[in-house]
Amino acid sequence: QKEVEQNSGPLSVPEGAIASLNCTYSDRGSQSFFWYRQYSGKSPELIMSIYSNGDKEDGRFTAQLNKASQYVSLLIRDSQPSDSATYLCAVTSNTDKLIFGTGTRLQVFP
Amino acid sequence: EPEVTQTPSHQVTQMGQEVILRCVPISNHLYFYWYRQILGQKVEFLVSFYNNEISEKSEIFDDQFSVERPDGSNFTLKIRSTKLEDSAMYFCASQTGHNQPQHFGDGTRLSIL
Contact A100 B42 (CB under 8 A): yes
Residue of A36, A88, A96 with shortest CB distance to B98: A96
Q: What is the pLDDT of residue A2?
A: 79
> How far does the CA of residue A96 sit from the closest CA of chain B (Å)?
6
For residue A80, name the pLDDT band (cuts at 50, 70, 90): very high
Q: Work out the average pLDDT over A10-34.
A: 96
Does position A3 have pLDDT exceeding 80, yes or no? yes
Does position A83 have pLDDT exceeding 90, yes or no? yes
The one-letter amino acid at A102: T
Listed residue (A16, A97, A31, A21) closest to A70, CA to CA: A31
Does position A73 have pLDDT exceeding 80, yes or no? yes
Residue A81, helix vs strand vs coil: helix
Instruction: For residue B40, give the DSSP letter.
Output: T
Q: Which residues pair with A91 in a beta bridge?
A: A33, A99
Does position B2 have pLDDT exceeding 80, yes or no? no
Query: What is the chain A residue with the closest CA to B34?
Result: A97
For B32-70, the pLDDT digits (tens) are 999 999 999 999 999 999 999 999 999 999 999 999 998
The sign of the dihedral angle between the CA atoms of B93, A95, A106, B90 is: positive
Q: Is A88 on the interface with B (CB under 8 A)?
A: yes
Percent of chain B with pLDDT over 70: 100
Q: Which residues pair with A35 in a beta bridge?
A: A48, A89
Residue B59, helix vs strand vs coil: coil
Residue of A43, A51, A102 with shortest CB distance to B104: A43
> How far does the CA of residue A62 sit from the closest CA of chain B (Å)?
17
Task: Using an 8 Å CB-CB cutoff, list chain A residues near B32.
Answer: none
Question: Concatenated DSSP letters for A86-106?
Answer: EEEEEEE-SSS--EE---EEE
Contact A43 B105 (CB under 8 A): yes
- How many whole angstroms separate alpha carbon A25 and alpha carbon A30? 8
Q: Which residues pair with B59 in a beta bridge?
A: none
Q: What is the pLDDT of residue B76?
A: 97
For residue A1, name the pLDDT band (cuts at 50, 70, 90): confident
Query: What is the chain A residue with the closest CA to B5?
Result: A43
Cα B54 to its chain centre, rounded Å, is: 12
Q: What is the pLDDT of residue B70?
A: 85
